Structure 1
């Protein structure tokens, strides 16, 4: 028997099918929410958003890789790796100078030892006779001599370090009794003294500066100026570099890069003088210019040594940078300039 609507008695089927489906979907949605489940449409939106995000990330990564490859092709360096390593080393350096400055002595000693070892191995690879163990021994003592209270003893230590490695080389040559020519022996002797003057002596000057009143801030300041100079030269040279500065020594260095280095070094020097060293602005100008000159000379000098040895980097210990000396080439000679500037300008400081 049917009623007026045509349904059997007791049949729960609704009259309006569309309305029934809508109610059923709403009930299902409520049960899904109560059960912690999400409707299929929401999952679809999530998947679409995730796909869009992954696509954007992949596109950005592809663009970065292409830019990094262009930079690597032009500079020979992996930019991302170089930045990460530089930030890590910078954090250790700044932390040692600010929180416990004597840790910097270990930092300088370690850098000098690695630098001597790198340079010695590179020279040996070019056929030079370099006594690495005596060089390391003399270099270690020379760096630590920067801690001596009597500064004249530091210069005595330099004399004995150079004399020690030279005499060692001459004695070793006498014992060898090979057919090495006089010119080669003389070259080996001069190189022995050069290694001590170039790496541990300059490192010892940084230690000597550290030992002065407020010396840690001066060490930090001259390193910041060197880094600013290198960064300014790198960025400006990469973007605008057209005219080579010293094509026979370092073809990738340009006058545009040097201009960027000068701007960065002077700006950093003035800011550091005013806000960290307690000096007048013009003193910061002097600091920036002088450190720029020594950093540039050090960079070009190491490039000339590497070109003479027929190598691109001193080693591959620091990915994206090359060797330890490849990072210290601008810093080492700048330590001498910073120490001289300290003696000249520190009396003007208001700290």
Structure 2
């Protein structure tokens, strides 16, 4: 069989005509071989790197899934959202107080909205719009007016909200029992005192000379305690702390929170607040106590309402109020500590 026309192989190259030309050809072949070897090595290294990355990613996703199954939280989303919120809080406190004021008003308003929605879903009657307006009034008064006037406005807001609820019940004429109406009135006062009033105490602290550093300090300590409890409880937590209230909280986690809060308190006292180191132990311990009480308190409320989270607006965290549960009562402690310990600051 003969080859078809036009299918002949390449003609053999002519032999080099000189010794110099032969050397050049040998060098060209050597360079080509070296280039091919380098390309092959690079491809092999790249394939090996991609294999390691894929393996590490698979292990991380598997670990994240185990954490999610145990805690009910997506660790990656929780970290990303937590860092984003932290950047806003730190930047606003350091550079522009009024931005933090707006951020705090928005956060407490969302917390009130979540709380009222959850209460309504459980059959309670709470007026949303008056609660939101009253909350904004308290937050603004905490920052802009004198302390005595803020207390007066707080009482006025509580009374107005209770009267509003009673008038609304009178006009509804739906035969609601006396016990249910009394429960609605008490819950009306609870909402405004729990979320915007405690938030307004942080605004009072913010309005003080150097108060932004104290506000930042108590928030950092709260976050450090929460992180210490989460990591320690996740790794070595075995003994439930309050199984009927919050089954996933452990004494080991509380120990981790205790250590983290004290370390953060000492460091912040020395390098940010200009206080003696031992005051940091007091600040850390007190903030840890109020943060723990706030966390367990909100867990009791959610258990009573039959819900796991106030909302799902913050993936990996739950709702806004789920992030404020430790911060709100800690604002009270931080304000008291400011009045007690700030005179000890080194000028």
Query: 2: CA distance between counterparts of 1:297 and 1:119?
Result: 18
State the number of aligned residues.
Answer: 332
2:147 matches 1:145? no
Match of 2:285 in 1: 289
2:179 matches 1:179? no
| SS of 1:136 mapped into structure 2 | helix
1:130 shift after superposition:
1.1
Query: 2: CA distance between counterparts of 1:48 and 1:275?
Result: 50
Contact 1:205–1:335 (CA<8 Å) still a contact in 2? yes
Relative contact order: is structure 1 or structure 2 higher (C-alpha 8 Å, sep ≥ 6)?
2
> Which TM-score applies when normalising by structure 2?
0.92
Match of 2:82 in 1: 86
Match of 2:303 in 1: 307
Query: 2: CA distance between counterparts of 1:94 and 1:70?
Result: 32
Match of 2:225 in 1: 229
Residues 23/263 of structure 1: CA separation in 2 closer, same or farther (3 Å cut):
same
Contact 1:148–1:154 (CA<8 Å) still a contact in 2? no
Match of 1:6 in 2: none
Contact 1:143–1:203 (CA<8 Å) still a contact in 2? yes
Query: 1: CA distance between counterparts of 2:222 and 2:239?
Result: 22
1:214 shift after superposition:
0.5
Unaligned runs of 5+ residues in structure 1 are: 1-10
**Which residue of 93, 97, 109 maps to 1:97?**
93
Match of 1:8 in 2: none
2:255 matches 1:259? yes
Query: 2: CA distance between counterparts of 1:176 and 1:299?
Result: 36
Q: How does 1:1-351 map to 2 (within 5 A)?
A: 13=15, 24=25, 26-28=27-29, 39-351=35-347
1:29 shift after superposition:
5.6
Deviations 1:104-159 (A, max 9, x none): 11111011110000101111111111110010011110110112342101101110
Query: 2: CA distance between counterparts of 1:102 and 1:312?
Result: 33
1:99 shift after superposition:
1.0
| SS of 2:315 mapped into structure 1 | coil
RMSD across aligned positions (CA): 1.9
